[in-house]
Amino acid sequence: MILKQHLLFALYSLCGILLKAAATKNKVRGSQSQFPIVQNVTVTEGGTANMTCRVEHNDNTSLQWSNPAQQTLFFGDKKALRDNRIELVRASWQELTISISEVTLQDEGLYTCSLFTMPIKTAKAYLTVLEGRIHKGVPEMPEIDGLTKPVKEGDHVTLTCITSGSKPAAEIRWFRNEKEIKGAKEVNASGKTFTVKSSVQLQVGRDDDGVAYTCRVDHVALASSPQQATEVLEVHYAPRVEITHSAVHPQEGEYLKLECVSKGNPSPDPVLWTKDGSELPDIDRMIVEGRELTIMSLNKTDNGTYRCEASNHLGTSSAEYVLYVYDPNALEQRGPDHALIGGVVAVVVFVTLCLIIVLGRYLARHKGTYLTNEAKGADDAPDADTAIINADGNHAHAEEKKEYFI
């Protein structure tokens, strides 16, 4: 009986030991499965980074995030570091997610998520911060200052293009429409970057109305995509007027159209037509439509000086057209006077022939005299000129010689 009791006790003890060992093994296995899971994060400077730590199974054990300097950021849902940029996104037994806003280059590094078991288990995530534009030295979008719209013809205007944040200093080029023009450059240091200004000075003319002035920023960081700004000039100027007409020789019975071509800004509308300094005659044959004056069925009474005048707030301009109405029968009889033209041609030909004859005789005579005199004086003269001079005295010498022989 005693032996039986001992055997039962031993059996119970063995079962307890086996059950305890199984429980311990399961506990260890469960503990080993509680490893935090994290991921590396990449964010651009100035952006927001979300750091997440998760566990599959957790027996109410706290999670903690630490920065690269091993400072605790959050322990569970409790904030440990006073940094307004760091906020809690989600906190539970299986997850701890925090956010870091306005990330800087100094925030880059290895962040640690810790699970407070025995022993403590950790996982590390690397936060990569990409440099922003300001640290790359990329110039900011340029702006053009100094232009007030509209400007008046003759005004002096200085356009200034400004870009900042470049490293090295950017280049600024100016264009008038598509043609490059020269500007005056100024560079100022702003910390580690540069502010670049370039100015062009203009004396504005009417030809500048509607012209686009562009400043273009070139920089190594911009590659093949330069930045630019454009301003289109609006120039006000006084009008200029001219009159165009539809006929060279207006004839009786025909019509004549006169157009007052006026260019100005603001547009000089309407225009004013007058005849011989007075208003146009009140007749149905004269029709004014906008800038055009049309005279139907012309006659001699329409002769006179027609004036067109255009104005805007900058000035007044005018042009005149003298109208003479021709008789169609007289125009038919008129023509080139062939008799007169023939007479003129004959006179010109006669005078030309006379000049040729006189000149020819003069040259021939001069040549004969030269040859004769040269022959007469050639015996005793050392050259042709002396021979001609000596030729005048040849007759005297001949007489002397004749008497000598007698």
Write the pLDDT tens digit of every residue in 55-72: 987 777 889 999 999 999
**Structure tokens that stand for 94 in this block:** 């299986």
Q: What's the confidence (pLDDT) of residue 339?
A: 61
Residues 338, 368: Cα–Cα separation, whole Å: 45
pLDDT score for 198: 96
Look at the chain and report how many structural domains it folds into.
4
Q: Which of 194, 141, 143 is nearest to 168 (CA)?
A: 194
Query: What is the rounded distance in angstroms from the CA atom of residue 18 to the CA atom of residue 287?
Result: 124
* 190: CATH: 2.60.40.10
Q: Judge whether 344 lies within some domain.
A: no
Please answer whether residues 64 and 71 qualify as being in contact, where contact means their C-beta atoms are separated by less than 8 angstroms: no
Same domain for 86 and 140: no
d(CA 109, CA 127): 5
β-pairing, 121-130 vs 41-44, is parallel
Same domain for 260 and 220: no
Amino acid (1-letter code) at residue 248: V
Report if residue 404 sits inside a domain. no
Query: Residues 211, 233: contact at Cβ < 8 Å?
Result: yes
Q: Which of 81, 106, 131 is the last residue of a domain?
A: 131
Q: Residues 50, 123: one domain? A: yes
Helix H or strand E encompassing 236: strand 235-245
Q: Based on the domain organization, do 140 and 225 belong to the same domain?
A: yes
263 shares its domain with 192: no
What pTM did the predictor assign?
0.48
Looking at residue 130, what is its pLDDT? 76
Q: Answer yes or no: is 15 within a domain.
A: no
Say which residues have a Cβ less than 8 Å from residue 293's Cβ, sequence separation at least 6.
Answer: 257, 258, 259, 260, 273, 280, 286, 287, 306, 308
Closest to 160 (Cα-Cα) out of 145, 177, 141, 139: 145
CB 200 within 8 Å of CB 213: yes
Residue keyed to tokens 């311990």:
24
User: Would you state the pLDDT for residue 226?
Assistant: 80
Count how many Cα atoms sit within 13 Å of the Cα of residue 315 in the half-sphere of its side chain.
Answer: 14
Which residues does 365 contact at the CB level (< 8 Å), separation at least 6?
A: none
Asked whether residue 90 falls in the same domain as residue 143, the answer is: no
Residue 406 located in a structural domain: no
- Judgement on whether residues 250 and 293 belong to the same structural domain of the protein: yes
77, 111: one domain? yes
Residue 363: predicted pLDDT: 82
One domain for residues 141 and 157: yes
Q: Which domain holds residue 370?
A: 366-391
Beta strands in 68-150 (DSSP E): 72-75, 78-79, 86-91, 95-100, 109-115, 121-130, 143-145
What does the pLDDT read at residue 16? 45
Same domain, 218 and 242: no
| Whether residues 159 and 200 fall in one domain | yes
Q: How many CA atoms lie within 13 A of 38 on its CB side?
A: 27
Domain assignment present for residue 110? The answer is yes
Q: Which DSSP helix (H) or strand (E) runs through 224?
A: none
In a domain, residue 50? The reply is yes
Quote the pLDDT of residue 70: 93
**116 and 187 both lie in a single domain:** no
Q: How many Å apart are CA 255 and CA 287, to the nearest integer? A: 11
- In whole angstroms, what is the distance from residue 63 CA to residue 44 CA? 27
* Residue at a domain's end among 184, 208, 233: 233
Q: For residues 264 and 370, what is the distance between their CA atoms, to the nearest angstrom?
A: 77
Q: Mark which of 233, 250, 283 sits at the end of a domain.
A: 233
Task: Please report whether residue 195 resides in a domain.
Answer: yes
Q: Which residues of the chain have pLDDT under 70?
A: 1-33, 131-136, 224, 331-340, 366-406
Contact of 341 with 361, CB cutoff 8 Å: no
**287 inside domain:** yes
CA–CA separation, 324 vs 319, rounded Å? 17
Q: Tokens 């699970």 label which residue?
A: 115
| Cβ neighbour number for residue 69 with a 10 Å cutoff | 7
